[in-house]
Amino acid sequence: MSGISLDPLDWLPHRSPFLFLDTLLHIEPGVRASGEWTLKGDEWFFAGHFPGRPTTPGVLLLESIAQCGAVVVLADPRYVGRLPLFGGVENARFRRQVLPGDTVLVECEMTKLSARGGKGFGRATVHGKVAAETEIFFVLADAT
Protein backbone atom coordinates (compact mmCIF):
# COMPACT_ATOMS: atom_id res chain seq x y z
CA MET A 1 0.00 0.00 0.00
CA SER A 2 3.06 2.21 0.02
CA GLY A 3 2.52 5.44 -1.87
CA ILE A 4 -1.29 5.27 -1.88
CA SER A 5 -2.90 8.37 -0.43
CA LEU A 6 -5.18 7.84 2.57
CA ASP A 7 -6.86 11.23 2.12
CA PRO A 8 -10.44 10.76 0.84
CA LEU A 9 -10.17 14.10 -0.98
CA ASP A 10 -7.56 12.53 -3.25
CA TRP A 11 -10.00 9.81 -4.37
CA LEU A 12 -13.55 11.15 -4.13
CA PRO A 13 -15.25 14.05 -5.89
CA HIS A 14 -17.36 14.62 -2.74
CA ARG A 15 -16.73 17.72 -0.66
CA SER A 16 -18.14 19.18 2.53
CA PRO A 17 -20.88 18.99 3.62
CA PHE A 18 -21.36 15.70 1.73
CA LEU A 19 -18.06 13.95 2.42
CA PHE A 20 -18.60 11.25 5.06
CA LEU A 21 -15.05 9.91 5.45
CA ASP A 22 -12.40 11.84 7.40
CA THR A 23 -9.52 9.50 6.72
CA LEU A 24 -8.83 6.21 5.03
CA LEU A 25 -7.13 3.45 7.00
CA HIS A 26 -6.56 0.85 4.31
CA ILE A 27 -7.00 0.61 0.55
CA GLU A 28 -6.66 -2.57 -1.46
CA PRO A 29 -7.50 -1.32 -4.98
CA GLY A 30 -10.41 -3.18 -6.56
CA VAL A 31 -10.92 -5.30 -3.44
CA ARG A 32 -11.61 -3.44 -0.16
CA ALA A 33 -11.06 -0.28 1.84
CA SER A 34 -11.71 1.07 5.30
CA GLY A 35 -11.88 4.52 6.78
CA GLU A 36 -13.19 6.57 9.67
CA TRP A 37 -15.83 9.24 10.06
CA THR A 38 -15.94 11.12 13.37
CA LEU A 39 -19.18 12.88 14.25
CA LYS A 40 -18.29 16.08 16.06
CA GLY A 41 -21.85 17.14 16.88
CA ASP A 42 -21.93 20.33 14.83
CA GLU A 43 -22.88 18.57 11.57
CA TRP A 44 -25.72 20.20 9.65
CA PHE A 45 -28.15 17.28 10.05
CA PHE A 46 -28.08 17.02 13.86
CA ALA A 47 -30.12 20.21 14.36
CA GLY A 48 -33.19 18.60 12.81
CA HIS A 49 -32.48 14.88 13.33
CA PHE A 50 -33.56 14.99 16.13
CA PRO A 51 -33.82 18.15 18.30
CA GLY A 52 -32.78 17.18 21.82
CA ARG A 53 -31.62 13.74 20.70
CA PRO A 54 -29.16 14.11 17.80
CA THR A 55 -28.82 10.91 15.78
CA THR A 56 -26.92 10.33 12.53
CA PRO A 57 -29.42 9.53 9.76
CA GLY A 58 -29.13 5.93 8.60
CA VAL A 59 -29.07 6.95 4.95
CA LEU A 60 -25.90 8.94 5.62
CA LEU A 61 -24.29 5.83 7.10
CA LEU A 62 -25.18 4.06 3.83
CA GLU A 63 -23.65 6.96 1.91
CA SER A 64 -20.43 6.68 3.94
CA ILE A 65 -20.27 2.98 3.01
CA ALA A 66 -20.85 3.86 -0.65
CA GLN A 67 -18.09 6.49 -0.50
CA CYS A 68 -15.71 3.90 0.94
CA GLY A 69 -16.71 1.56 -1.89
CA ALA A 70 -16.05 4.31 -4.42
CA VAL A 71 -12.48 4.57 -3.09
CA VAL A 72 -12.05 0.81 -3.68
CA VAL A 73 -13.07 1.28 -7.31
CA LEU A 74 -11.28 4.56 -8.01
CA ALA A 75 -7.99 3.27 -6.57
CA ASP A 76 -8.05 0.48 -9.17
CA PRO A 77 -6.11 1.58 -12.30
CA ARG A 78 -8.75 -0.09 -14.51
CA TYR A 79 -11.25 2.61 -13.51
CA VAL A 80 -9.22 5.80 -14.02
CA GLY A 81 -11.50 8.49 -15.43
CA ARG A 82 -14.64 6.71 -14.26
CA LEU A 83 -17.17 7.69 -11.59
CA PRO A 84 -19.09 5.07 -9.56
CA LEU A 85 -22.71 6.17 -9.11
CA PHE A 86 -25.05 4.68 -6.54
CA GLY A 87 -27.30 2.12 -8.20
CA GLY A 88 -29.07 0.75 -5.15
CA VAL A 89 -28.93 -0.99 -1.81
CA GLU A 90 -30.24 -4.34 -0.66
CA ASN A 91 -30.57 -5.90 2.75
CA ALA A 92 -29.76 -2.66 4.57
CA ARG A 93 -29.98 -3.04 8.32
CA PHE A 94 -29.55 -0.47 11.05
CA ARG A 95 -28.47 -1.97 14.35
CA ARG A 96 -27.55 0.95 16.63
CA GLN A 97 -27.64 4.73 16.75
CA VAL A 98 -24.58 6.77 15.85
CA LEU A 99 -24.32 9.81 18.10
CA PRO A 100 -22.26 13.00 18.28
CA GLY A 101 -18.74 12.14 19.40
CA ASP A 102 -18.81 8.64 17.87
CA THR A 103 -16.10 7.54 15.45
CA VAL A 104 -17.49 5.23 12.81
CA LEU A 105 -15.31 2.58 11.22
CA VAL A 106 -16.53 2.28 7.62
CA GLU A 107 -15.59 -0.78 5.56
CA CYS A 108 -16.51 -1.91 2.06
CA GLU A 109 -15.47 -4.95 0.06
CA MET A 110 -16.28 -5.44 -3.61
CA THR A 111 -18.00 -8.71 -4.47
CA LYS A 112 -18.36 -8.01 -8.21
CA LEU A 113 -16.60 -5.56 -10.53
CA SER A 114 -17.00 -5.16 -14.27
CA ALA A 115 -16.49 -2.46 -16.88
CA ARG A 116 -20.09 -1.31 -16.37
CA GLY A 117 -20.48 -1.43 -12.57
CA GLY A 118 -20.49 -3.76 -9.65
CA LYS A 119 -21.57 -4.54 -6.15
CA GLY A 120 -20.08 -4.75 -2.71
CA PHE A 121 -20.83 -5.32 0.93
CA GLY A 122 -20.18 -2.73 3.57
CA ARG A 123 -20.66 -2.02 7.23
CA ALA A 124 -20.35 0.86 9.64
CA THR A 125 -19.35 0.01 13.21
CA VAL A 126 -18.84 1.96 16.42
CA HIS A 127 -16.71 0.42 19.18
CA GLY A 128 -16.87 -2.91 17.32
CA LYS A 129 -20.68 -2.95 17.23
CA VAL A 130 -22.48 -2.85 13.89
CA ALA A 131 -24.44 0.35 13.33
CA ALA A 132 -25.37 -0.33 9.68
CA GLU A 133 -24.65 -2.91 7.02
CA THR A 134 -25.76 -3.27 3.43
CA GLU A 135 -25.09 -4.55 -0.05
CA ILE A 136 -24.42 -1.66 -2.43
CA PHE A 137 -24.80 -1.60 -6.20
CA PHE A 138 -23.24 0.95 -8.53
CA VAL A 139 -22.86 1.80 -12.18
CA LEU A 140 -19.77 3.37 -13.73
CA ALA A 141 -20.04 6.59 -15.69
CA ASP A 142 -17.39 8.72 -17.35
CA ALA A 143 -16.07 11.24 -14.83
CA THR A 144 -16.17 14.14 -17.27
Please identify every residue annotated as catalytic: 49
**Torsion angle of C-alpha atoms 65, 69, 72, 78, degrees rounded to 10:** -170
Strands 117-126 and 103-113: antiparallel
Find, among 121, 8, 15, the residue nearest to 75 by Cα. 8
Write phi, then psi, for 66 (nearest 5 degrees). Answer: -65, -40
On whether the CB atoms of residues 68 and 33 are closer than 8 A, the answer is yes
φ, ψ for residue 134, nearest 5 deg:
-165, 160
Nearest to 135 by CA among 112, 116, 114: 112
